[in-house]
């Protein structure tokens, strides 16, 4: 699949370009659903695998390799949300997980946390990726509040553990996905909506990595942005069209359910990828990036990528990936506008032209290398509580406020599933 994508667009580079292997692993039921959606969205370039204990769920998977685990323990059924049995299977199948990451350059895992299968497998797969020392970006869904406090706490705890093992962990709270949908959306559609977000995320990453001419640099930039394992990741997507696509894209980015722009902590690394149709002007890109720079502080380096997608028509898409190491260095101002202008020396005319430049904000690039890893680990625990910060807002740092098994600090409309229209 990937080969053909490359061939059609840059036949000349075929012989010199190594083929990157990027594997997307859907773990458990929810993960499998997403991978299935990827297939129907005809996303190219990724190897897709679904790992599950539930044979029935695996049967429905099309267009992806499926790996059936734990047949002796669950006899082909799901784990029924029992984490212990998922963990037992994961422990027995260690070599299988090692096999899943073998020879892969970048692993993207997708898991619905809080149940038995996905929760356990995510951890096992992350451990395998650590052993193989490959780049690992993990997307996890956190359960709806109405699924109960227990599931939520299992998910939170598991994500906290996972964070230390992966290069980037993107948490997608299902509650927020539900909010983002329109009125009168069914449960099925809400889950579909969640899946669509992942598809969009992967499409954005795919565009960045697989588009011709910049392959090596772009997977490398992804790796450099995510740098070490652990730390926090800021990930967001926005899309705008119409009269003022830049404004619309920024607005949509602001409302991306897993992006917390209000967190005023400085980022250490930032990657901004802008994709637009052939008519996208460089002035628009510059404006977009300038506005983003106003909102985000980045200490070390910012990477910009801009690509033209013939199918995008008049839409502009922006994908933001930031990394925060844990630790408190002083923020350093990023590029001034002069530098941005330099980055985009006049757009190229042809449809598939790409401009991608790595820009270094300061000379502080090496500073991070000197950072003590032990400090990062110590801070991990503190940071873990704020996983839910999107939901607790002002009360993020205060004690939980339980009434029965509901945390009253979490907005009522979320816990009750009241739909709010924001756009």
Partner 1 sequence: MSEGTIVAAAEIGTSKVAVLIGHVSEAGRLGIIGHGLCSSRGVRKGAIYDLRAVLDCLQSAIELAETRASVSVENLFLAQSGSHLQGQFIEGIANVRNANGIVQQEDVERACSDAKGKMPPNDRIWVVHIRNPFRIDERVVEEPIGEQGSRLSAGYWSVSGERKIISDQIRLLNGIAIEVEDLILASTASAEAVLQTSEKRSGCIVLDVGGGSTDYVFYKDGFIVRAGVIPVGGDHITNDLSVGLRINSRWAENLKKEHGCALARTEDKERKVWAHGDHSIGDRECYLQSVHAIIEARVRELFEIVRKEWVSVLGDSKPGSGVVLTGGTSRLSGIEELAAKVFATHVRIGTPPNGVEKAIAGVEYSTCIGLLMYASRNDTIAGGGPRPVAATGLLRKLTGLFKS
Which residues are at the interface with partner 1 (CB under 8 A)? 179, 251, 254-255, 262, 390-395, 398, 401, 403, 408-409, 411-414, 416, 418, 420-422
Spatial neighbors of 417 by CB under 8 A, at least 6 apart, are 144, 145, 146, 178
| Minimum gap (Å) between residue 183 Cβ and partner 1 | 9
Q: Annotate 199-218 with b (16+ C-beta within 10 A) or e (fewer).
A: bbbbbbbbbbbbbbbbbebb
Q: Kindly tell me which of 217 and 263 has the beta carbon lying closer to partner 1.
A: 263
Taking the C-alpha atoms of residue 113 and residue 302, their distance in angstroms, rounded to an integer, is: 31
Q: Kindly tell me which of 227 and 255 has the beta carbon lying closer to partner 1.
A: 255
Taking the C-alpha atoms of residue 37 and residue 60, their distance in angstroms, rounded to an integer, is: 12
Q: Kindly tell me which of 185 and 224 has the beta carbon lying closer to partner 1.
A: 185
Q: Do strands 406-407 and 402-403 pair parallel, antiparallel, or not at all (unpaired)?
A: antiparallel
Contact 205, 250 (CB under 8 A): no
| Minimum gap (Å) between residue 320 Cβ and partner 1 | 15
Which two structure tokens, joined as six digits, stand for 360? 């270094």
Q: Kindly tell me which of 20 and 395 has the beta carbon lying closer to partner 1.
A: 395
Q: What is the DSSP letter of 86?
A: H
Contact 165, 159 (CB under 8 A): no
| Minimum gap (Å) between residue 284 Cβ and partner 1 | 19
The pair phi, psi for residue 140, each rounded to 5°, is: -125, 140
| Minimum gap (Å) between residue 65 Cβ and partner 1 | 38
Find, among 2, 113, 117, the residue nearest to 48 by Cα.
2
H or E stretch covering 343: helix 337-343
| Minimum gap (Å) between residue 235 Cβ and partner 1 | 16
Answer left, alpha or beta for residue 314, where phi above 0 means left and psi between -120 and 50 means alpha.
Answer: alpha
| Minimum gap (Å) between residue 131 Cβ and partner 1 | 39
Which two structure tokens, joined as six digits, stand for 179? 């909010």
3-class secondary-structure state, position 10: coil
| Minimum gap (Å) between residue 273 Cβ and partner 1 | 22
Find, among 135, 66, 119, the residue nearest to 96 by Cα.
66
CA 83 to chain centroid, in Å, comes to 24
Contact 253, 235 (CB under 8 A): no
Q: Kindly tell me which of 23 and 392 has the beta carbon lying closer to partner 1.
A: 392
| Minimum gap (Å) between residue 262 Cβ and partner 1 | 6
Q: Kindly tell me which of 197 and 210 has the beta carbon lying closer to partner 1.
A: 197
Q: Kindly tell me which of 301 and 391 has the beta carbon lying closer to partner 1.
A: 391
Find, among 174, 262, 269, the residue nearest to 231 by Cα.
269
| Minimum gap (Å) between residue 178 Cβ and partner 1 | 12
Place of tokens 């230390």: 164
Q: Kindly tell me which of 216 and 416 has the beta carbon lying closer to partner 1.
A: 416
Q: Kindly tell me which of 47 and 406 has the beta carbon lying closer to partner 1.
A: 406
């Amino acid at each position: 699949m990937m080969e053909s994508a490359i061939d059609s667009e840059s036949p000349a580079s075929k012989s010199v370009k190594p083929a990157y292997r990027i594997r997307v692993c859907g773990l458990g039921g929810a993960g499998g659903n997403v991978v299935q959606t990827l297939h129907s969205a005809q996303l190219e370039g990724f190897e897709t695998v679904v790992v599950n204990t539930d044979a029935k769920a695996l049967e429905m998977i099309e267009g992806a390799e499926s790996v059936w685990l734990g047949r002796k323990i669950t006899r082909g059924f799901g784990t029924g949300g029992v984490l212990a049995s998922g963990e037992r299977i994961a422990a027995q199948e260690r070599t299988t997980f090692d096999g899943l990451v073998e020879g892969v350059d970048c692993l993207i895992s997708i898991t619905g946390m809080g149940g038995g299968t996905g929760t356990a497998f995510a951890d096992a797969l992350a451990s395998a990726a650590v052993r193989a020392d490959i780049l690992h970006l993990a997307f996890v869904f956190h359960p709806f509040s109405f699924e109960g406090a227990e599931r939520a706490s299992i998910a939170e705890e598991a994500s906290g553990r996972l964070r230390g093992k992966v290069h980037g962990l993107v948490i997608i709270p299902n509650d927020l996905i539900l909010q983002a949908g329109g009125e009168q959306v069914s449960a099925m559609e809400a889950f579909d909506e969640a899946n669509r977000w992942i598809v969009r995320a992967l499409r954005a990453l795919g565009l960045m990595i697989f588009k011709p001419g910049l392959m090596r640099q772009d997977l490398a930039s992804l790796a450099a942005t995510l740098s070490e394992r652990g730390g926090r990741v800021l990930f967001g997507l926005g899309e705008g069209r119409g009269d003022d696509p830049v404004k619309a894209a920024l607005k949509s980015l602001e409302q991306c359910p897993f992006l917390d722009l209000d967190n005023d902590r400085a980022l250490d690394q930032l990657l901004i990828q802008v994709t637009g149709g052939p008519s996208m002007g460089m002035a628009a890109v510059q404006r977009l990036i300038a506005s983003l720079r106003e909102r985000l502080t980045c200490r070390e380096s910012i990477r910009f990528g801009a690509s033209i997608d013939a199918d995008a028509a008049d839409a502009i898409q922006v994908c933001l990936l930031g990394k925060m190491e844990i630790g408190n260095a002083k923020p350093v101002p990023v590029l001034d506008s002069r530098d941005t202008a330099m980055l985009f020396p006049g757009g190229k005319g042809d449809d598939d032209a790409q401009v991608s430049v790595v820009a270094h904000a300061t000379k502080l690039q090496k500073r991070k290398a000197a950072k003590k890893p032990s400090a990062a680990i110590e801070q991990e625990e503190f940071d873990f509580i704020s996983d839910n910060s999107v939901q607790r807002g002002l009360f993020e740092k205060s004690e939980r406020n339980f009434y029965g098994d509901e945390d009253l600090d979490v907005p009522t409309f979320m816990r009750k599933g009241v739909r709010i229209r924001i756009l």
